[in-house]
Every structure is written in structure tokens, then in C-alpha cells.
Chain A
Amino acid sequence: MKMPAVAEREQLPVQQAREGKPEAWDILFRRYQLPLYVYVFELVHHEQTSLDLVQETFIAAVRHIGGLRDDAKFGSWLFGIAHQKCLQCWRKQNREDVPLGEIPETPDELESGPDDLLIRQEQEAEFMQLLNRLPLPQRSVLLLHFVEDFSIEEIARITETQPGTVKSRMHYAKRALRKLLEEEK
């Protein structure tokens, strides 16, 4: 399967979905099902739970589409629902506390795109391992950046944090990843 390097911003039938057209929902869900699953799975690490959470996200989207003001923000809105579902799942299972604001400083440097980090085939396994070792808030931010190339503001909206906090998390997560990849070289 040919995979685009970064997520593309396309014209999506959000208005038709709001009007209740099932074909529109099919197009929207087809577009976001895999990115959502990737995001959720990399946070919860359980296949069935991830599938359930994606389904719950879709159902919630159908129910609450009336609350979406800006059609262009459908993607971030959908990921916001999924993020909330993940938080509820964590709280229910009480497996892990979600530490917030663990990084005090905001770096001044501008973040680069999701493609600046290129990984060799032999590094893929290590990349995944390191990604899973990252603290949840950093992992969440990095996944949103990799999977959908969301902007800092969009990630802040999805995770309900300040853009400065998102910047910090992204910076430290990327630095940790680069460090590992350089060590592997």
C-alpha cells in the first residue's frame, strides 16, 4: 500500500455528514480509521481495547457532530474525542497516572515537520521501543504530530493543554528519539 509521507488536508464531506448522509460518514471514517487506531493503540497497547475505543469515537462523532463549528477542524475534533476516550480508559483501569506539566521549560526553537526524522529499516524496532518508553503526554503529542501532522495549536486543543506545554513535550520527545537513533548509528 502506498502511504503518503504526511497526512494530507483534503476536502471532506463534513457538512453532508452533519445532514445525516451515511455515505459522507463512510468517507470520513474511512479516511480516519487507521490514523485513529494507530494513535489509540500506541497509547493503550491493547488491540481489542483500541478497536472498542475507535468504535466509541465514531459513535460519539455521529452523535455530537452538531457541536462541531468549523468543518476544517473535523480531524482534530475526532482525535480530541479519541483522546478523551483514552483518558477515560486509563482512569477506569487505573493503570497509569497521566502526569501533566512534567517539563518546566518551553524551548524557543521552532519544531520541524514530522518527516525530519527518517528511520532506517534496521532502526524501526528500536524506534518503536523508544516511542513506547516515552512518558504518555510526550508520546501522545509525538503520535499526533507523526500520524496527522497536526499543528501545535491543534495538538493543544486535542490534548486540552497549553500550546507551550505541547511545544516542550514535542521538543523533549524528539530530542530523546534523535539521541537514540544517533547512538544506534
Chain B
Amino acid sequence: MIKNWHPMYTLALVIGLLALYPMFFGQFMNFGVATLLLAGFALSWDILGGWTGQNSLGHAAFVGVGAYTVTLLAERGVHPVLGALIGAALSSLLAWGWGAATFRLRGSYFTLSTIAVAEIIRLIILNESWLTGGAEGKFMPDLPKIFGFDLFDRKVEYYMVLLFVLLVLLFTHWMRYSRMGFYFKAVREDEDGAMALGVNPNKAKQLAFVCSAAFTGLGGAMYAIFLQAFEPETFLLIAFSIQVALLAIIGGRGTIYGPLVGAFLIAVPSEIFRDQLKEANLLVYGILIVVIVIYLPKGILGSLEYWAYRKNHPLEKGKV
């Protein structure tokens, strides 16, 4: 191992490599932006799911709130950057109320409640067509250029999304070594045990949920700009929420980079095989998930971390 390796070096390396993508794969920009966005959603999901252990299957709602907010505000002449920030703020506000109502539930009961709340939000957006355009969806109006950059240029979008991913990763890094991160993990491992040490589990979960939702909302706003036209079914269905959660779980929850690894590992083969295998593509996706869940229950990065730990701390034979 290299001595004195600062965690920030890894971050710089990862972001640096991702920044090179448009130079080598310029013809696959749609794929690049979409995958990076998915990675960003999975990373945001992990703040709640990986660190406090609360599995949400309703994160699509925050993507929706971010997407609709930026679009509706842009129609009324609000600058997209401001619109995205308002979208993030509305998402976290929603998460705050959502958490206050549902964090009394533990484990899978909480997960079930997230499906219900997300479904309520989908139905509201679908039916309040005077505001949201209903089932017909929305078109993104022309957006002003930012510092001369056209927001509908795929390369500009790619770097915008990369900035979003960097933001989430910086937050996770900071959290990893702060009191907040430790409290989150304590809640994940054992709520009663955490309480005995002065941790308020509901407050911790609430905080994680609000942060996770804010980032997801911000990504949602970028998603709307990327799509330019979307309808509720584009991302408000539960399938989207499940996909985001799966990417994080497959990559390795609570490992900082796990969700990013998960997003690329799943997206790349399914993109490569899309033409050859057509519908069977989903089969590859499914098999991959089954294999990883059976053989690498900690996820890809989680298992790697465990092997590294095991190497440094071999099991003592004969001792319990």
C-alpha cells in the first residue's frame, strides 16, 4: 500500500478520469450523461440507505420534484440555476415532512411507506394537470446560456452532472469523518444501542433523508434539462426508485464510491448488449444482480474493502 495516501487523492483521481470521458467517447455522450446522472442518484440514495440503513424505494419522487420545479419555474422565466436550487430545497422540505411522518416505522415498514408516499406524489403530479401538464408531461423551454455555455449541449451537461457527482462525493467524504457520519452508522447498526450512547435515531435519519433528498432533487433538475421533454412515467414509477437503490446496493452501500461503481458496472454491459440481445438485455441485468447479491452481499466495493481488511487482520485460528 502507498503510505500517506489521502482520501482526497482518490476523489481527484476518480473525478479526473470521469472528466476525460467526453474526449474519448464523444459519440456516446447521451450514454455518458445518463449513466453519470444515475450514479449521482445512487450516491444521493446511499446517504440515507447506505449510512443510516433506511432503504427508500421512493427516491423517484425527489427526482420528480426537482425536474418539475426547474421546468415550471423556467416557463415563468426563472433562471435554471436558481430553479434547480429551489427544486433541491423543495425536495428536502418534502423529505423533512415525509421523515417526520414515517421514521417511527422501522426496517421494512419504513421501506413500504416510502413506496406509498412516492405513489401519492406521482398521482398528484399526474392529476393536477393545470400545473404539471398531467399525463402529457412537460417541455423544457429555451434556457439562457450560462457564461456562454449552452445548457442543451451534451458536453456542457456532462460536466454539469460531473459537478453534481463531485458535490455529493465531497459531502460523503466530509460526512465519513464527522460526528454526523458516525451517528448515522450507529443508527444503521443498532438503534437501541445508539440511543444508549446519546444518539437520537429519528433526528439522525431525518437529517440523512433531508440531505439525500436535496441532492436527488438537484440531480432531478439536471435530468429535466437533459431530457428536454418528459412525462410523469419517465421517472416517477417505482421501477426507477428500485433501479437507483439497486445500483447503490450492488456497488456497495456506505462505501462512498460503491454506488458510482454500481452505476457504471450495470450500465456499461446493458448498453453494450442492448443491440445484440434486444429484450434479453434485461436478462443479463437480472442475472448480474442475482450473482452479485448471492456471492457479494456487501456489494462490489464493500466486498473489496472486506478482503482488504481480512488481509490486514487474519482470523486467529483456535481462538473465539
A and B associate: no
